[in-house]
Structure 1
Amino acid sequence: MPSIPPLSSFRGQGRASTPRPRIPVPTARAIVDCAVYVDGHRLPGRFTHDEALAEARSRGGFVWIGLHDPDETQMADIASTFDLHPLAVDDAVKSHQRPKLERYDDTLFLVLRTVSYVPHEMDGVSEIVETGDIMVFTGTDFVVTVRHGEHSGLAGVRRELEDRPEQLCHGPYAVLHVVADHVVDSYIEVATRVENDIDEMEEQVFTPRNHVTIESIYQLKREVVELRRAVNPLAAPLQFLAHKPDLPVPKEIRRYLRDVADHHTAVAERISDFDESLSELVSAALAKISLQQNTDMRKISAWVAIAAVPTMVAGIYGMNFEHMPELKWTYGYGMVLLFIVTVCAGLFVTFRRNDWL
């Protein structure tokens, strides 16, 4: 009869000592759209990313594939098809990258930060600006856009570009320009709405007898700082794309990119002005609070001075000395009360005339 192993030999076997392997998710789950464009027109039909690249190369067109939040496995599959550099692929998987432009042989890798305005309450904690990412790989016959965040969809951009085949004829760099232009336009829209918030806050600060918390201004200032961090670093990549002659960007697209760079410069300057305006609002609000505190202290001091009169008189006549004047006087009590009321009324009128009450 075989012996029963001791209970100690089963300890620890109920839990796995190593984590369960992740089930790979098909690459198609991360693909939002995959299209082949020839002579500025989209070819009918559905393609996988491998089929799309083969079809584009056989017809002399290019592929535009859009991805949303791909994981490492999905991105590696795309990278093997389009021969993307591992360093750029690693950046594309991770969100919250700094805007930049990198070149890997014939492939350009552009990182853009997207922003979205969030309706909010001025409570000091609400989020005003939500950020995301769009990464664009641009090659001779392909464009791969990788999107992180829910607000930065490119479906509308793709439809608008497909309605302009004359621009699509310029190839993958036409897509790069349209995506950059779309992102910069969103900067302008968000900056306009933030400017409205600042104007409203400024009106509240300078309205008499209106209470404004410093936390609300700091909330706006914090979000403007985040907006500036998303917008300003894109200036160098756009200038590089627009003015660097050795990049494989068509001359006509470079002209459009210069216009995008000009719009970006304008919105970056507006955001810098927001920061200065909010700093001035903080100073104004602090001065208003300080003035209100001084007013409150004057009122408190005035009432303390008025209350000191009856306190002083009551303290004097509350002493237990036998020989004190007016103690045996018939009208002493009434005259003391009349004296207290007269002095207090005189102090009240004096403080009121001097705007202390």
Structure 2
Amino acid sequence: MTDQRADAPPGPRPGPFVPTTHPRPAGAPRPASSRPPGVDAVVDCAVYVQGRREPPIDPAEALAAAVERDGFVWLGLFEPTEAELGAIAEHYGLHPLAVEDAVYAHQRPKLERYDSDLFMVLKTARYVEHEQLTATSEVVDTGEVMVFVGPHHVITVRHGDHNDLTELRHRLEEQRDLLCLGPAAVLYAVSDLVVDSFVDVAEQVQDDVDELEASVFSPERTDDIGRLYQLKRELMSLRRAVAPLEVPLQKLAERQIDGVPDPMRSYFRDVLDHAIRVRDQVGSLDELLSSILQASLARTSMADNEDMRKISAWAGIIAVPTAIAGIYGMNFEFMPELQWRWGYPMVLLVIVVACVLLYRGFKRNGWL
């Protein structure tokens, strides 16, 4: 974890939201949002005290109420703009670097500390249903969830139209004992949801791998190289989401971190175990795909060799009548067979016998 204490802004400053923008990096494109026009970036906002959700409250007053009642506020956002997240950052005292990552997304999974706040990035994944895998099929769709964790707040920023956190919030509100552990409980729940989605995606990708394996080794002649390569590329997206997550979870499970109570470490260890299992499963699928791809290439090469042997065998058979016809087509005057009554039938018989013998020889050797 990196410590940015020297550059961190002061603690939470309750007050009205004031839009504040952060400069974009040079050359960085303006973040695109799939949020429908007119839809608020704030999905839900609630204050939790002793694990119980308090009555609805205005987001501008939620932090002050959480501090006053010794609880925490959970603010859920969906693809906020620079101005929207800038206003919230000003209100909650979020670090500009973390805010920049949350706005522009496309980050790798990581865990960072900014003064008294934790900032965690998680990649999300969803399996894209398809009737049949093709060389252009989209198999894995990825998104991101960023989580800001402070003493009295947890802010989730979701990018992508999957892994909705609304149902997770409802389930978590039924586990009062877990919510009593503070904002870290929300971080655990989000991490657990993301890793569980990886498990589901990996199992569904396994079905595609099995289908391709059966196709490659089927008696019928198939061309699966394009489909294999596409699935391998899609699996790489899942691997990039799963593999880097191990280090942040390991920190949360094994180290003493301010803002993460000791009882929470056992929860994060469970998530870490699942993440390692998925990482190994994805790695095994990738290795299996590589083996299937090599087998497909080898089978294609063998089929090409078999075709060449058949062509060569038939060319050898056809060469016999061609050679004989070429000799007698030279029109020399003194050719004894031309004056022999049985010369023509004899030549035809020689051609037939030679072709039959060659055919049987090639057939016996597996060339035909």
Question: Which segments of 5 or more consecutive residues in structure 1 lack a partner in the other structure?
Answer: 1-24
Alignment of 1:213-224 (within 5 A): 213-224=224-235
Alignment of 1:63-212 (within 5 A): 63-120=73-130, 121-212=132-223
How many matched pairs?
332
Match of 1:348 among 328, 338, 359: 359
Amino acid at match of 1:328: Q
Match of 1:299 among 300, 307, 310: 310
- CA displacement, residues 170-219 of structure 1 (integer Å, 9 cap, x when unaligned): 11111000000000101111111112222222222222334242122111
CA RMSD of aligned residues (A): 1.8
SS at match of 1:151: coil
Match of 1:244 among 230, 255, 279: 255
Compute the displacement of 1:64 (Å).
0.7
Amino acid at match of 1:113: K
SS at match of 2:73: strand
Aligned match of 1:317? 328
SS at match of 1:326: helix
- CA displacement, residues 246-303 of structure 1 (integer Å, 9 cap, x when unaligned): 4320111111011111111111111111221122112211221121111111111110
Match of 1:37 among 39, 45, 48: 48
The TM-score normalised by the length of structure 1 is: 0.89
Are the counterparts in 1 of residues 216 and 224 from structure 2 also a CA contact under 8 Å?
Answer: no
Is 2:59 the counterpart of 1:59?
no
Compute the displacement of 1:221 (Å).
1.4
SS at match of 1:336: helix
SS at match of 2:337: coil
The TM-score normalised by the length of structure 2 is: 0.86
Aligned match of 1:260? 271
CA distance in 2, matches of 1:320, 1:82: 104
Which stretch shifts more, 70-79 or 222-231? 222-231
CA distance in 2, matches of 1:56, 1:307: 92
CA distance in 2, matches of 1:318, 1:28: 88
Amino acid at match of 1:100: K
Compute the displacement of 1:27 (Å).
10
SS at match of 1:122: coil
Q: How has the CA–CA distance of structure 1 residues 26 and 254 changed in structure 2, closer, same or farther, with 3 Å as cutoff? A: farther
Amino acid at match of 2:226: E
CA distance in 1, matches of 2:257, 2:47: 27
Are the counterparts in 2 of residues 26 and 74 from structure 1 also a CA contact under 8 Å?
Answer: no
Are the counterparts in 2 of residues 39 and 61 from structure 1 also a CA contact under 8 Å?
Answer: yes
Q: How has the CA–CA distance of structure 1 residues 314 and 34 changed in structure 2, closer, same or farther, with 3 Å as cutoff? A: same
Structure 1 segments, 4+ long, off by >6 Å, are 25-28
Are the counterparts in 2 of residues 241 and 247 from structure 1 also a CA contact under 8 Å?
Answer: no
Amino acid at match of 2:105: S
Which stretch shifts more, 205-214 or 114-123? 205-214
CA distance in 1, matches of 2:145, 2:344: 86
Which stretch shifts more, 272-281 or 326-335? 326-335
CA distance in 2, matches of 1:314, 1:296: 27
Is 2:58 the counterpart of 1:48?
yes
Compute the displacement of 1:49 (Å).
1.9
Are the counterparts in 1 of residues 202 and 281 from structure 2 also a CA contact under 8 Å?
Answer: yes
Q: How has the CA–CA distance of structure 1 residues 100 and 323 changed in structure 2, closer, same or farther, with 3 Å as cutoff? A: same
Larger-Rg structure = 1
CA distance in 2, matches of 1:108, 1:236: 15
Are the counterparts in 1 of residues 150 and 259 from structure 2 also a CA contact under 8 Å?
Answer: no
Amino acid at match of 1:325: P
- CA displacement, residues 82-124 of structure 1 (integer Å, 9 cap, x when unaligned): 1100000000001211111110111100000001111233322
Aligned match of 1:332? 343
Amino acid at match of 2:114: Y
